[in-house]
Each structure stands twice: as C-alpha cells, then as structure tokens.
C-alpha cells in the first residue's frame, strides 16, 4: 500500500513538469494567437479586448499559474482559438474511440508479440527462430503510417477486402488496430526473445533440469514468469508508441478520435488544442506506467517484500538457535 | 558393483571458429558410500564432467562425443529423456557452485524443495510441502521460513536450501560442484560439515568438485586430479596425498602453505593451462613441467598404474624417476 | 609498495604506448566480430548504398528535382522515369534521392544534438550523484513521460516547420534516452579502482570525466546513435507526413508519401516508393545497429 502511495505521489511532479514544458513551448511559439482568433480586419480596441479575453495580456508566470490552477481545480484545459466548445468536453467525447483503439492495439501487441518471442527463444538455433527474428526485424522497420498507407493501397483499393474510412462496423476496426499494433509487436517480440534467452541461461533453470522436470514444465513454471516480469515494464512504452502513432493513423483512417483532433489543432496552429492533446496522452502514459509498476510489485516477490505486501509476515528471527551464526 | 562408472567420457563445445575439448577420455568410478574428490584449476573440465554425468550440457554448443556413464549398471548416456529425468533429482542430484543464482527468485524456497519431492515421490502436494519443511529443519533452517523467497536468505542459507533440494529424495549419488567456493570462509566450514553429516546419515555417495586440497583431505576417500580435460592422477586419498607422482599434483601441493614446514616462499606452478581449443600433442602439462623431455610430446600419455589404487598419467612416474 | 603505485598510475593513463596497442587490438576484435555478422554487413551495405545514392544524386540522375512538366504528370515507371513521375510531372526517382539528403541530414544533426546534450546531462548526473543526479533524473523522467514522437510533434508545431526546427524537435526526445545510457555507464565505471586511483593522485573531476569516463561511454553511445538515426528518419517522415517537418516543394519521403495519398486510388508509385525507401533505410540502420552492439559487447550475444 505504501508502495502504491509512493508511486502515486511521484506521478504528480512529473505531470506538473509536463504541463510546464508543454506550456512553455506553446508560449514561445511564433505566431500571434490573438490575430489568428480574430481573423482579418480588426481595430486595436478589438485586439486588446480579445487579448484580455484570452488571458494573453498577462505575464508568462501569471498565465502558467492560471493554466495550472484551472487544470487542477476544474480540469479546465482552456478553449480552442476557433470554436467555443471547451477543449475538455471535446476530448471527452473523442476519448472512448481512441481509448478503444489503443487498448485493442496493446492487447494485440501483447497477445502476439510475447508468445512469438518466447517461441523464438526456446527454439533458438532453428529455422523457426531465424524466420521469426527476420520477421521482427522487417516489421520494426515499417512505421505505422507507412504500413497504413500500404494496407490501404493493397486491401482497400486493390483487393477491396476491407473498408478504409471510419469505424461503422467491426470490419472497419481491423486495419486501424492492426496497423497501430504492428510496430509494437515487432518491438515486443524482440524484447521477449532477448529476455527469455537470458532467463533460460540462468542457473536456476539448470537447477530445475537437475531436479528431473520436463522441459515444458521448466518453461512454464520456472522460465515464463521470470521472463514476463521485466516485460511488464515495457507495456507503458508500447502504450506511448500506440498513442503517438494514433495522431497519424486516426487521421489516415478518418477516425474521429483525440488523434484527429490534435491533427486539426496542429494544422490550424490551434495551440491550446495541441497542448491539451499532448497533456492527455502524457497523462495516459503516466497512468499506464503507474499501473504497470503496481502490477510489477505484485508479481515480483523481491519488490513485494521491500514494501511489505506479502503473504505471511515474519516475526521471530529466522535463524535456528545454534544452527547459524551469520546475520545477513 | 560400483555405483558410478565413467568410461572414456569425452565432451566438446563446438564454437564458430574452433572446437573446445573440455573433457577428454575421462574414466572415474565411485563405490557406494564413497566420496570422490575431483580436483583441478578453473577451466580443467571439472564442471563439464559433472554436468555430463547428468546430461545437463547445453546442446548446442556442447556435445557428449563419446563414452559411457554407468549408474547402477545402466548407461545413462543411452537412456531415453524420460528415463534420464527419472534419475535426475531422485537417484543423482547436484549442488551448484553459486547458490545466489541457483534458486528461482520468484518461487518460495518451500515450493522449490516440495517440487522435487512431489515429482519423484508420488505424494500429494500437501505431503510434499510437509516433507520440504522437514528438509529445511534438517539443513538448519526454521521450517516456518518455507514461505519466503530466496532473496530473503543469505548466501550460506541459500546453499543450505540448495542442499535440501538435492537431498530431498535421498539420492544415491550427490554431485557437489564447488559447493562452498562462493561462500564466506567462515560459512564454508559450516556448510561442509553439514554436508558431511547428512551424507553419512543418508549413506549417499558423493562426487565433490573442488580446487581446495584441504577440503579433499577432510572429506574424500579417493581423489582424481584433473588437468586440461584429462585425469592426470587418480587414486585413494592416502596414496595420492602421501605419494603424489604427477608433476602437476606435486605442483599443487607445492603451492599451498603448510604449517609444519619452513619454506622460503611458496612455489606456484609457472605458466598457464593450455587453451582447451588448442591442446598440445602428447603430455598436456609439458609446457609447465620441470621434468619435461622430448619424449613427453612424442606420444599421448596414458594412465599407468604405479601401485594398487593409484594411477598417474606421466611416463616418468612408473619408475619413480624424478 | 612504491612500484605498485607507479604501475597503477601507469594503468590509469590511457596514453601509454602499450595501452594504445591494447586499444587497437580491441578495435580489431570488434571489427572481426562485426565482419562475421552477415546481417550486420547487409545493414551496413544498405546504409552505405543509401548514403552514396544521395551524395551522388546529381550524377546519378539527370533530372532536376524541382523541374515541373505538366504533360508528364503521374506517369507510371518507365525506362526514362524508373519510379514514374509525381503530380507535377517531376521525376520521382530524383525526388527520392534528393529527399534522402534532407532526411539523412536532419537525422544526423538530431542524433548529434541529443547525444551531445545527453552526454553532458548523463555524465554529470552519473558522476556526481546525490542531489544533482536527483534533479537531472527527475527532469529526464518528465521528458520520458511524453512519448517521443508526440514531443517532436508538439515542438515542431510550436517552432514551425523547416530542417533546423525539425532536427531540434526530434533531438529533444532523444536526450533522455542517451542521458540515461551515459548515466548508467558512468555509474558503473565510477566504482572501478582506476577512477579511485585517479582521484587519489589529485586529478580534477572534469579531467577524470573527460579522460577516464567518457571514453568508456563511447561504445554504448555509438550503438544508441546508430539506432536513433533510423528512428529519426522514421520521425522526420512522420512529421512531414502530417504537414510538419519538411514542407513541399522541398522533397522529403514523408511529404511525398502524404501528397501521394491524394492519388492513392489510382496511382500507386507515389505511395509505394517513398514507403519502400523509408522502410529500407530504417531496416538498414536497425541491422547495422544490432550488429554493432553485438560486436562491441560480445557478452550480450548468446
């Protein structure tokens, strides 16, 4: 419990840091948002009024403080330069679609990447391993958006097997999910293979063999869990990849999610929208990493004991009287 | 009948560029209840020999090229995988050099001991757990700690757990690969004493791998000295210790300090062991030997019996001609 | 005793002749290991061929990358135009070659910037530890919290497009990674005895960092840089694809791909060729980087 609280507290300064960085970036960005918002033809009075309305007449520190205050107290992310709909409600309405896409992407990454990587490792020095390793290398070289375009050309335009725009039917989801998961699968495969190879060379695997266990039992009971524990940590990284990729892939497949919203903000230099999008995504990555850390503490006994999340508490000194003279 | 009889065991590692001749034509026997010490410096092929007996060589790159390993009259190298697994952990078990890494970090020590009992003794999980607690008691760890994980134990305690796993099914042969090398000196004696006591209690034979001649003197009935993958001197403890004949054995005794003799300085063996990927022809020890002559590299040296229960791989040993 | 000290000092000085010969032998080992790795050679060849192609672009193709010819628009590949032409009748092969120039240049600059800044942050944090390490590490945590492509998008959205801004945008995300690598390496080296010896003989911190620590961080940094060039090329293409990064008419693979989308239904060369070039280049750098890592640190391999 202490561990979870500790990790939670660590997230807060990181998020504030992200807000400061992103805010500073947009503050010093070239271009005058006031004139952009007013369009053409305005008087100096109109300009000043608009600047005051947007809060841009204040100093950097004041603006940053008020942005942070609004964010923390009211979850208020400000307003778009062009529409009067608050950004947070726009984001909320788009969040489910993006979240679903991201979630399916991660699930696909894990379900395909980890088993293939493990398979590859335990079949080391076979044709299967060479084939899978080569496949992962090729997959890692294809950016999601390039793959999306190629898939559209092949499956959508040439073969006409799959729809390429929107998300009306389950069939519409196939390409967006597959193309966003693809690069992550390659990374996951490679990582799993390396980790598993490391694990099956450990002494405790030889110990398990010397006990007379079957090879399958050794893999399942002794190797698998030791391999999965470090892999848990890269799920956060995969999530980040999928999210960042979604800005491009949602746009390619004309999906009305956060990515498309941000894309619109980027092309029209609508900084509050871009800023809000970056913050939301960074926040999601932080939360995923937090969950991963907590999960980690539950599966790894080494961390479990440090933070007192354990099955049975030890009370007396564990050394039998007279049997042991050592302390540590 | 001997419990274990190794004949002509040869193990090689095929690397990309060359082949490593780790174990060359090794013969060893262990009688029931006997302890054989296998002595040699790092890289002499001791561990590979031990793993070869249980067929625990990583393949590839390692491979048992030839030889026979008779255990109770049956050749282990000809057994099926299932037959071999029935032997491992049950009739022959092994203690590894480094207790720090020999235990699975994510399973409790109780689970790790109970696993081998459950596997071989056809008993319920509950009974196996109960017996694993008894094993802990036997090696001097409070049974209540069965639910703890390896990282909660010190090195010496971990080695006790490893020993508990190895002895859980009362094996006929225990292979101990430098069981105390990784431990603090003070703990070494404790662990060795305990191993000796348990071995006698369970009437287990033992193959003790070590580079510590003192440990051999205290523990073993017979000694085999290994050098560059070969046995160079082999015999009963008294014969080898009182009448060492191979120049390498003599060198080993010359490089340990003694309390009874006044010597100006210890005499270490000069030079290094030859690369096991490029072994010289003839005597492998020739380069470092004070008594070498041209004949040493002409022919492969064989083990010659110089007295009862004492063989030496040196052409000059027979006549005692140093 | 005295002799012992002298010897240790000698060992801690990388300039002695025997040390240089040891270093030379080490690099020969690395080279030998690298040459044995077939996929590494393939990767290296791809990278070298790409670089040669873009350097000698004016010799290889006789078209101007900007020469528009309206009657020749959207031609399929032929002997004259091996990759066909784009929507303005410009030779696509030529635009691929010149597009590579921009991508490689930006990627190299971005990698250089992130390696340089990362080295400063990482070595200072790793060497001094304590409060300095904590501050720098927290800062890196913040940078790491933002997905690197997202950070690049945000920065180039703020700075605007153009090669320099794109290089800057891409480099910031890489700083955290290279700084962490350097920090870990420095912390590992710091505990070695020869650093203690250098301290004991009164070397100043900066000198110790420069002479004894940084040379040892070279190998991991080089591997990371190779990988990150591939990643940067992917990033540039991505940024240009969404209209940031490099803008038309400057040729760039990602932006050609983006324009090609408009014609996706009836004209494939404008999407397939840039996609192939992007993939092949990243593939090459990945293979090269993998092989380099295995050659520099043989412990990691099998």
For A28-94, the DSSP string reads: T-SS-HHHHHH-S---HHHHHHHHHHHTTTS-HHHHHHHHHHHHHHH----B-SS--SBHHHHHHHH
Q: Do A302 and B151 touch (CB under 8 A)?
A: yes
Q: pLDDT band for position A304 (50/70/90)?
A: low
| A300 touching B (Cβ < 8 Å) | yes
Task: Give the pLDDT score at C15.
Answer: 44
How would you classify the pairing of strands B4-14 and B92-95?
A: unpaired
Secondary structure element (H or E) that encloses residue B176, with its range: strand B173-177
Q: Does C261 touch chain A (CB under 8 A)?
A: yes
Please state at what angle helix A234-252 crosses helix C148-159, rounded to 10 degrees: 50
- Sheet containing strand B62-71, edge to edge, reads B19-30, B4-14, B62-71, B74-75
Could you give the CA distance from residue A2 to residue C101 in angstroms, rounded to a whole number? 54
C-alpha torsion sign, points A235, A237, A242, A243? positive
Collect all residues with Cβ–Cβ distance below 8 Å to B30 and sequence separation of at least 6. B2, B3, B4, B5, B36, B173, B205, B206, B207, B222
Residue with tokens 């094993």: B135
Cβ of A30 under 8 Å from any chain C Cβ? yes
Residue of C nearest to A246 (CA): C150
Of the candidates A148, A119, A151, which has an alpha carbon nearest to the alpha carbon of residue A133? Answer: A119
A80-A84-A86-A90 Cα dihedral, nearest 10 degrees: -80
Out of C154, C260, C271, whose CB is closest to A25? C154
Task: Return the structure tokens found at A235.
Answer: 């799920």
Contact call for residues A79 and A33 (beta carbons, < 8 A):
no
B127 in Cβ contact with B155 (< 8 Å)? no
Residue in A closest to B82 by C-alpha: A214
Q: Given pLDDT bands bounded at 50, 70 and 90, which one contains residue B261?
A: low
Average pLDDT, chain B: 82
Buried b (16+ CB within 10 A) or exposed e, A40-66: eeeeeeeeeebbeebeeeeeeeebbee
Q: What is the dihedral of CA B88, B94, B97, B102, to 10 degrees?
A: 50
* Residue C70 Cα, gap to closest chain A Cα (Å): 25
Partner-chain residue, chosen from A14, A197, A243, that has the shortest CB–CB distance to C142: A14
How does residue C114 score in pLDDT terms, banded at 50, 70 and 90? very high
Residues A275, C251 contacting (CB under 8 angstroms):
no
CA distance A244 to A247: 6
C-beta atoms of C302 and A29 within 8 A: no
CA of A152: which chain C residue's CA is closest? C264
Nearest 5°: phi and psi at B20?
Answer: -95, 120
Quickly tell me which residue has 């980040």 as its tokens: A240
Q: Does A198 touch chain B (CB under 8 A)?
A: no
The rounded distance, in Å, linking the Cα atoms of C5 and B235 is 46
What is d(CA A46, CA B59) in angstroms, rounded to the nearest whole number?
Answer: 81
Contacts of B151 in chain A (CB under 8 A): 301-302, 305
Percent above pLDDT 90 for chain B: 0
CA-to-CA distance for A191 and A133, rounded, in angstroms? 11
Burial of A152 (0-12, 13-18, 19+ CB in 10 A): buried
pLDDT at C302: 38
Between chains, do B104 and A207 touch, taking CB under 8 Å as contact?
yes
Q: Is the dihedral of CA B100, B106, B111, B115 positive or negative?
A: negative
| Contact yes or no for A207 and B86 at CB 8 A | no
To the question of pTM greater than 0.90 for the whole model, the response is: no
Give the tokens for residue B189: 């004696």
Cβ neighbours of A143 in C, within 8 Å: 234, 237-238, 278-279, 282
Q: Do A210 and B88 touch (CB under 8 A)?
A: yes
Whether A264 contacts chain C with CB within 8 A: no
Q: Is A211 on the interface with B (CB under 8 A)?
A: yes
C-alpha span between C269 and C78 (Å, rounded): 12
Closest-CA residue to A18 (of C169, C167, C139): C139
**Residue A316 three-state SS:** coil
Compare all CA atoms of chain C with the CA of A267 and give the residue at the minimum distance.
Answer: C243
Residues from chain B that touch A302, judged by Cβ atoms under 8 A, are 105, 149, 151
pLDDT at C9: 37
Q: Are C234 and A243 a contacting pair at CB < 8 A?
A: no
Q: What is the token pair recorded at B286?
A: 């020739």
Under 8 Å between Cβ of B194 and B166: no
Peptide bond into A213 cis (omega under 30): no
Q: For all residues of chain A together, what is the average pLDDT?
A: 79
Q: Give the span between the Cα atoms of B151 and A273, in whole angstroms.
A: 49
Integer-rounded Cα Rg, in Å, for chain C is: 23
Its sign, for the CA torsion C272, C274, C277, C278, is: negative
What residues in B contact A208, CB-CB < 8 Å? 104
Alpha-carbon dihedral A197, A203, A208, A211, rounded to 10 degrees: 150
Query: Is C63 in contact with C91 (CB distance < 8 Å)?
Result: yes
Q: Is the pLDDT of residue C298 over 80?
A: no
- Residues C184 and C195: their CA atoms lie apart, in Å, by 16
Sign, CA torsion C274/C275/C280/C282: positive
CB of C182 less than 8 A from some CB of A = no
How many Å lie between the alpha carbon of C134 and the closest alpha carbon of chain A? 13
Instruction: Say how far apart CA A170 and CA A185 lie, in whole Å.
Output: 21
Give me the pLDDT at residue C204, please: 78
Q: What is the pLDDT of residue C4?
A: 40
Least confident of A180-184, B203-207, B274-278: B274-278
Beta strands (DSSP E) in B216-309 are: 222-227, 230-236, 304-307
pLDDT at C20: 52
Within 10 angstroms of residue B143's Cβ, the number of other Cβ atoms is 16
pLDDT at C115 over 60: yes
Select from A123, A129, A210 the residue whose CB has the most chain B CBs within 10 Å, as the one to mutate to test that interface.
A210
A240 in contact with C, Cβ within 8 Å: yes
Which residue in B has a C-alpha nearest to residue A306's C-alpha?
B152
Whether B94 and B50 have beta carbons less than 8 Å apart is answered as yes
pLDDT the model gives residue B265: 65
Question: Would you say residue C255 has pLDDT above 80?
Answer: yes
CA distance C115 to chain A (A): 21
pLDDT at res. A327: 32
Tell me whether residues B106 and A212 touch, CB distance under 8 A.
no
Q: How far apart are CA C276 and CA C284, in angstroms?
A: 12
- Residue B45: pLDDT band (50, 70, 90) is confident
Q: Residue B135: which residues within 8 A CB-CB, separation 6 or more?
A: B113, B117, B164, B165, B167, B168
Write the residue in B105, B119, B149 that is nearest to A211 by C-beta: B119
Name which of C240, C275, C280, C293 to mutate to probe chain A: the one with the most chain A Cβ atoms within 10 A of its Cβ.
Answer: C275
* Contact criterion met (CB below 8 Å) for A183 and A144: yes
Predicted confidence (pLDDT) per residue in B176-230, tens digit: 888 887 777 777 888 888 888 888 888 888 999 988 888 888 888 889 888 888 8
What residues of chain A lie within 8 A of the CB of B191, using their CB? none
Domain ranges of chain B: 4-318
Q: What is the pLDDT of residue C25?
A: 67
Interchain contact C50–A (C-beta under 8 A) = no
* CATH class name, domain B4-318: alpha beta
Q: Is the ipTM of this complex over 0.90?
A: no
Helix ranges restricted to H, chain B: 46-53, 81-87, 99-102, 109-121, 125-138, 155-167, 185-202, 213-219, 237-242, 247-254, 295-298
| Domain covering A90-307: architecture | Orthogonal Bundle (1.10)
Q: Under an 8 A CB cutoff, do B104 and A305 touch?
A: no
For A202-248, what is each residue's pLDDT tens digit? 888 988 888 888 888 888 888 888 888 888 878 777 777 787 778 88
Please give the CATH topology (third level) of the domain spanning C2-8+16-62+80-300: MetI-like fold (1.10.3720)
From the CA atom positions of chain A, what is the Rg in Å?
26
Q: Are A282 and A15 in contact (CB under 8 A)?
A: yes
> Using an 8 Å Cβ cutoff, are A56 and A34 in contact?
yes
Angle formed at CA C156 by CA C153 and CA C159, multiple of 5 degrees: 150
What average pLDDT does range B153-160 have in this prediction? Answer: 86
B43 vs A113, residue with greater confidence: A113
**How many CA atoms are closer than 13 Å to the CA of B53, on its beta-carbon side?**
31
C262 vs A contacts (CB less than 8 Å): none
Q: Give the mean pLDDT of chain C.
A: 81
Ranges of each domain in chain C? 2-8+16-62+80-300
Strands B62-71 and B4-14: antiparallel
Chain A contact set for B94 (CB, 8 A): 210
The span from the CA of B270 to the CA of B266, in Å, is 12
User: Chains touching chain A at 3 or more Cβ pairs under 8 angstroms?
Assistant: B, C
The whole-angstrom separation of Cα B280 and Cα B257 is: 31
C-beta atoms of C242 and A247 within 8 A? yes
Tokens 């710091």 found at: C190
Helix C92-128 with C253-262: angle, nearest 10 deg: 130
- How many residues would you count in chain B? 322
Cβ–Cβ of A226/B141 closer than 8 Å? no
pLDDT tops 50 at residue A316: no
CA pair distance A33, A77, nearest whole angstrom: 16
Q: Which residues of A touch C233 (CB under 8 A)?
A: none
Residue B300: pLDDT over 80: no
pLDDT one-digit tens code per residue, B99-138: 888 888 888 888 898 888 888 888 888 888 888 888 888 8
Nearest to A260 by CA among A93, A147, A108, A146: A93
Could you tell me which residues are beta bridge partners of residue B92? B88, B173
A41 touches chain C (CB under 8 A): no
């Amino acid at each position: 419990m202490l561990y979870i609280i500790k990790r939670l507290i660590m997230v807060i300064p990181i998020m504030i840091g992200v807000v400061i960085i992103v805010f500073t970036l947009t503050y010093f960005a070239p271009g005058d948002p006031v004139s952009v918002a007013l369009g053409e033809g305005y008087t100096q009075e109109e300009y000043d009024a608009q600047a005051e309305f947007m809060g841009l007449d204040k100093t950097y520190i004041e603006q940053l403080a008020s942005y942070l205050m609004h964010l923390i107290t009211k979850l208020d992310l400000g307003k778009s330069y062009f529409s009067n709909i608050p950004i947070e409600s726009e984001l909320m309405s788009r969040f489910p679609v993006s979240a679903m896409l991201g979630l399916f992407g991660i699930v696909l990454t894990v379900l395909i990447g980890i088993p293939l990587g493990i398979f590859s490792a335990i079949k080391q020095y076979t044709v299967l391993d060479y084939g899978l390793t080569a496949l992962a290398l090729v997959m890692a070289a294809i950016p999601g958006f390039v793959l999306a375009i190629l898939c559209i050309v092949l499956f959508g335009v040439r073969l006409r097997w799959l729809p390429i725009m929107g998300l009306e039917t389950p069939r519409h989801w196939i390409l967006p999910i597959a193309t966003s998961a693809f690069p992550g699968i390659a990374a996951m495969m490679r990582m799993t293979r390396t980790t598993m190879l490391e694990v099956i060379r450990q002494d405790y695997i030889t110990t398990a063999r010397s006990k007379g266990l079957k090879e399958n039992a050794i893999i399942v009971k002794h190797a698998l869990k030791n391999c999965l524990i470090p892999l848990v940590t890269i799920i956060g990284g995969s999530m980040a990849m999928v999210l960042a990729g979604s800005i491009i892939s949602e746009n390619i497949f004309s999906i009305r999610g956060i990515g498309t919203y941000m894309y619109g903000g980027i092309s029209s230099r609508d900084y509050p929208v871009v800023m809000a999008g970056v913050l939301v995504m960074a926040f999601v990555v932080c939360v995923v990493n937090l969950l991963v850390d907590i999960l980690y503490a539950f599966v790894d006994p080494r961390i479990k004991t440090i933070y007192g999340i354990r099955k049975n508490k030890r009370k007396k000194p564990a050394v039998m009287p007279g049997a042991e003279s050592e302390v540590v | 009948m001997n419990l274990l009889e190794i004949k002509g065991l040869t193990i090689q590692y095929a690397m990309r560029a060359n082949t490593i001749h780790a174990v060359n034509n090794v013969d060893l026997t262990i009688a029931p209840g006997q302890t054989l010490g296998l002595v040699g410096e790092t890289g002499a092929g001791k561990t590979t020999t031990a793993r070869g007996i249980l067929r625990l060589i990583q393949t590839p790159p390692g491979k048992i090229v030839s030889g026979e390993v008779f255990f109770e009259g049956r050749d282990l190298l000809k057994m099926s995988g299932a037959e071999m697994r029935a032997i491992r952990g049950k009739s022959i078990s092994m203690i590894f050099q480094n207790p720090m890494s020999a235990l699975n970090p994510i399973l409790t020590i109780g689970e790790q001991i109970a696993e081998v009992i459950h596997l071989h003794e056809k008993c319920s999980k509950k009974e196996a757990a109960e017996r694993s607690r008894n094993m802990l008691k036997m090696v001097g760890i409070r049974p209540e700690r069965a639910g703890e994980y390896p990282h909660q134990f010190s090195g010496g305690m971990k080695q006790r757990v490893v020993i508990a796993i190895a002895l859980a099914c009362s094996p006929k042969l225990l292979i101990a690969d430098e069981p105390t090398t990784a431990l603090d000196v003070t703990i070494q004696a404790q662990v060795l004493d305990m191993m000796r006591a348990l071995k006698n209690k369970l009437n287990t034979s033992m193959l003790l791998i070590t580079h510590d001649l003192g440990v051999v003197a205290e523990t073993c009935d017979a000694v085999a000295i290994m050098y560059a993958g070969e046995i160079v001197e082999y015999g009963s403890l008294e014969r080898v210790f009182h009448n060492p004949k191979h120049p390498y054995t003599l060198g080993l005794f010359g490089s340990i300090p003694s309390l009874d003799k006044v010597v100006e300085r210890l005499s270490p063996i000069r030079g290094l062991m030859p690369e096991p990927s490029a072994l010289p022809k003839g005597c492998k020890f020739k380069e470092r030997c004070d008594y070498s002559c041209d004949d040493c590299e002409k022919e492969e040296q064989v083990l010659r019996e110089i007295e009862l229960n004492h063989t030496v791989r040196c052409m000059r040993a027979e006549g005692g001609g140093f | 005793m005295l002799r012992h000290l002298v010897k240790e000092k000698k060992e801690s000085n990388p300039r002695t002749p025997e040390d240089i010969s040891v270093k030379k032998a080490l690099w020969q080992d690395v080279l030998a290991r690298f040459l044995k790795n077939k996929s590494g050679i393939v990767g290296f060849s791809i990278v070298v061929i790409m670089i040669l192609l873009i350097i000698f672009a004016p010799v290889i193709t006789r078209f101007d990358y900007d020469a528009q010819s309206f009657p020749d628009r959207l031609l399929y590949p032929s002997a004259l135009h091996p990759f066909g032409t784009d929507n303005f009748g410009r030779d696509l092969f030529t635009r691929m070659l010149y597009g590579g120039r921009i991508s490689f240049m930006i990627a190299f600059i971005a990698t250089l910037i992130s390696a340089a800044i990362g080295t400063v942050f990482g070595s200072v944090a790793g060497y001094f530890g304590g409060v300095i390490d904590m501050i720098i590490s927290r800062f890196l945590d913040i940078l790491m919290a933002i997905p690197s492509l997202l950070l690049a998008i945000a920065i180039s959205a703020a700075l605007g497009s153009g090669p320099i801004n794109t290089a800057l945008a891409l480099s910031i995300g890489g700083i955290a990674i290279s700084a962490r690598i350097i920090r870990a390496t420095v912390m590992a080296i710091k505990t070695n005895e020869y650093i203690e010896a250098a301290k004991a003989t009164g070397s100043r911190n900066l000198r110790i960092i420069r002479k004894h620590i940084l040379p040892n961080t070279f190998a991991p940094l080089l591997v990371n840089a190779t990988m990150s060039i591939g990643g940067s090329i992917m990033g540039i293409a991505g940024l240009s694809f969404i209209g940031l990064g490099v803008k038309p008419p400057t040729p760039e693979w990602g932006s050609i791909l983006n324009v090609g989308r408009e014609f996706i239904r009836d004209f494939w060369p404008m999407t397939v060729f840039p996609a192939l070039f992007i993939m092949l280049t990243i593939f090459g750098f990945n293979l090269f980087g993998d092989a380099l890592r295995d050659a520099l640190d043989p412990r990691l391999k099998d």
